[in-house]
Structure 1
Amino acid sequence: MNLHIAISTDHCPRINISANMATTVLEKPSLLSSTSGSESYRGFCNLLYVILAIGSFRLVLENILKYGLLVEFNWPLRFIKDPTNWPSVLLIILVNIFILIQFWLEVRLSRCSSRMYSFLFQMINLSSILIFPALYINHCQPNPAGAFIAVCSYSIVFLKLVSYTHVNYRCRQDLFEKKHDGIKQTKDCVVYPQNLTLRNLYYFIFAPTLCYQLNFPRSPCIRKNFICRRSAEILIIFSLQYCLSQQWILPILRTLDRPLNQYSILENIERLLRLALPNHFIWLLLFYAYFHSTLNLLAELLCFGDRLFYRDWWNATDLYEFWNRWNTIVHDFCKRHVYNPLVNQLGFSKLLGSFVVFAISAFFHEYLVSVPLRMQ
């Protein structure tokens, strides 16, 4: 049986076409339209990867032909031999004094001896953690790079000791109010005040978290292959960052032979756009090297179980969502030790609590830049 399709219009005669010859039978949208239902664009992604690789290789080749090889491979030896770096190393070592003082005061508080004075000295000690490096750097004037690492270390220790003090205070309150009668220390569970040991404190100091707990989730063993992979990533990525900054960013900065206000607006925009690509690339490398490779390496060495150091910030739809997902370590600290106490215990509004968190974040961003550079 031969099936025919009849086609006719007002201006042409009726034509019978065999069904085997018909190419258009159903209504079908184009694949790139929103109604097509097609969500696979892997081929386009592969094409973009190829274009990106070719463009990046061209930029590298053009840079080397124009400026030559600018990377200095002896920078580790220069860093060690530079006498201005050693004061920063000493400054990092001295942070242990503040840690031990805070620990001693916490032990005194657990014994209910001079609680008011011990708490006052705790606040003084915590404040000194931020004041001392500023005075030390201003006096010794170390290399800004080493000073930045030292100031970051002091800031991390400050936040950790704030959490350590806050959690032990809450445990002390629960103990005095008899909220956990019958809870005894077991092999796998530590209770207050048995947690007040140097081993427990220094495990927290080195652990990749800012929020103290008496008991952390632990992984069962240390994986040697995992450590080797993360170590290789750290070495390769930080070396690549150094090469990019030396070979790509410094030549652009050296073209600035006069103040920015003496250039035209278009010239300033052109230089900013030239710096935007390498800066963004280095920023992405730094994120992976620190939040993924370094923190996972540290967690593996310490058998630290909770490794959610970041969430999918690349899928964030607004700035608020981005900052919540970008650095969960700091986000969890601010929520646990700043926002929740202000809103739930002191009766602050959510808006005011968010403003306080923002102000603290702004202070530390300014502190981490102004102190190493000795900006007055």
Structure 2
Amino acid sequence: MQVSTLIPWYLVKFLANKHKIVFLSIYATYMLICNGANKNATLYNLVYFLFAPTLIYRHNYPRTKKINWRAVISYFLQFIGTIFCMFATIRRFVANNYASSGIEPFNAKTLLSSLLVTGCLGMSLMFLGWYGLLQCWLNGWAEMLRFADRMFYDEWWTSSQFSKYFRKWNLVVSDWLHTYLYQPINDVRIC
């Protein structure tokens, strides 16, 4: 009986989220048309935008003069290295520490040990994921595509408030949210 009452609520939640995504997509397209961003758009512009490390469409992005292939190879090797480190970390800590879960009796010492290991594991995986994606992957693609704007994150480690940290740690998504969500809502707001 409880499951049958939850299904309609999850359906409503799913439809509400789908409505938000559709609305935001339509509104973003409308803003592009109103701002004239799609005039003379070519297939080259679209393909470049799909691979460029940005979420905001522009006709022209700042470009560097040449590609440093050593940097490209270095960034992608570092990315592969971070994936390997993440895999090794998960395999070492999760496989060894949780292999006996459900078999041995559970007590407070085991709980505390599991919480400490899981906390350290989560933090290290977060840092590895951040470094792999926002430093190695995006800089590798930026170098390969001669994309000059390499400001993918700001000094989030110096943030003293969560709101500042949230804006600084991923500038790609933060800029997208500002351009396509916060700014349109602010423009529509009635005084």
TM-score range, shorter chain: 0.7 to 0.9
Q: How has the CA–CA distance of structure 1 residues 166 and 293 changed in structure 2, closer, same or farther, with 3 Å as cutoff?
A: farther
Deviations 1:164-209 (A, max 9, x none): 624522234xxxxxxxxxxxxxxxxxx75212x1111111111111
The amino acid across from 2:75 in the alignment is R
Q: 1:200 aligns with which of 45, 53, 56?
A: 45
Compute the RMSD of aligned alpha carbons.
Answer: 2.7
Q: 1:243 aligns with which of 88, 92, 111?
A: 88
Deviation at 1:235, TM superposition (A): 1.9
Deviations 1:336-376 (A, max 9, x none): 11111101x21169xxxxxxxxxxxxxxxxxxxxxxxxxxx
**Does the Cα contact within 8 Å between 2:93 and 2:117 map onto a contact in 1?**
no
Task: Give the count of matched residue pairs.
Answer: 171
Equivalences for residues 71-150 of structure 1 within 5 A: none
Q: How has the CA–CA distance of structure 1 residues 204 and 163 changed in structure 2, closer, same or farther, with 3 Å as cutoff?
A: farther
Q: How has the CA–CA distance of structure 1 residues 318 and 255 changed in structure 2, closer, same or farther, with 3 Å as cutoff?
A: farther
Indicate whether 1:232 and 2:66 are aligned. Answer: no
Distance in 1 (alpha carbons) for counterparts of 2:95 and 2:161:
33
Distance in 2 (alpha carbons) for counterparts of 1:169 and 1:232:
40
**Does the Cα contact within 8 Å between 1:342 and 1:348 map onto a contact in 2?**
no
Q: How has the CA–CA distance of structure 1 residues 215 and 202 changed in structure 2, closer, same or farther, with 3 Å as cutoff?
A: same
1:254 partner SS:
coil
The amino acid across from 2:50 in the alignment is I
Q: How has the CA–CA distance of structure 1 residues 201 and 162 changed in structure 2, closer, same or farther, with 3 Å as cutoff?
A: farther
Deviations 1:256-279 (A, max 9, x none): 216xxx845553232111222122
Return 5+ residue gaps in structure 1 as ranges: 1-126, 132-158, 173-190, 350-376
Q: Tell which structure's C-alpha radius of gyration is larger.
A: 1
Distance in 2 (alpha carbons) for counterparts of 1:297 and 1:255:
41
Distance in 2 (alpha carbons) for counterparts of 1:254 and 1:298:
39
Q: 1:168 aligns with which of 24, 28, 32?
A: 32
Identity rate of aligned residues, in percent? 23
TM-score by length of 1: 0.42
Q: 1:340 aligns with which of 178, 183, 187?
A: 183
Distance in 2 (alpha carbons) for counterparts of 1:223 and 1:162:
38
Q: 1:309 aligns with which of 126, 135, 152?
A: 152
Counterpart for residue 58 of structure 2: 213
Deviations 1:281-312 (A, max 9, x none): 12211111110011000111111111111011
Q: How has the CA–CA distance of structure 1 residues 348 and 340 changed in structure 2, closer, same or farther, with 3 Å as cutoff?
A: farther
Q: How has the CA–CA distance of structure 1 residues 247 and 217 changed in structure 2, closer, same or farther, with 3 Å as cutoff?
A: same
Deviations 1:241-261 (A, max 9, x none): 111111122211223216xxx
Distance in 1 (alpha carbons) for counterparts of 2:31 and 2:150:
21
Counterpart for residue 113 of structure 1: none
Q: How has the CA–CA distance of structure 1 residues 268 and 225 changed in structure 2, closer, same or farther, with 3 Å as cutoff?
A: same
Distance in 1 (alpha carbons) for counterparts of 2:26 and 2:63:
23
Counterpart for residue 111 of structure 2: 268
Distance in 1 (alpha carbons) for counterparts of 2:153 and 2:27:
20
**Does the Cα contact within 8 Å between 2:152 and 2:170 map onto a contact in 1?**
yes
Q: How has the CA–CA distance of structure 1 residues 192 and 243 changed in structure 2, closer, same or farther, with 3 Å as cutoff?
A: closer
Q: How has the CA–CA distance of structure 1 residues 247 and 348 changed in structure 2, closer, same or farther, with 3 Å as cutoff?
A: farther
**Using CA pairs below 8 Å that are at least 6 residues apart, which structure has the higher relative contact order?**
2
TM-score by length of 2: 0.78
Distance in 1 (alpha carbons) for counterparts of 2:53 and 2:27:
13
Q: How has the CA–CA distance of structure 1 residues 307 and 348 changed in structure 2, closer, same or farther, with 3 Å as cutoff?
A: farther
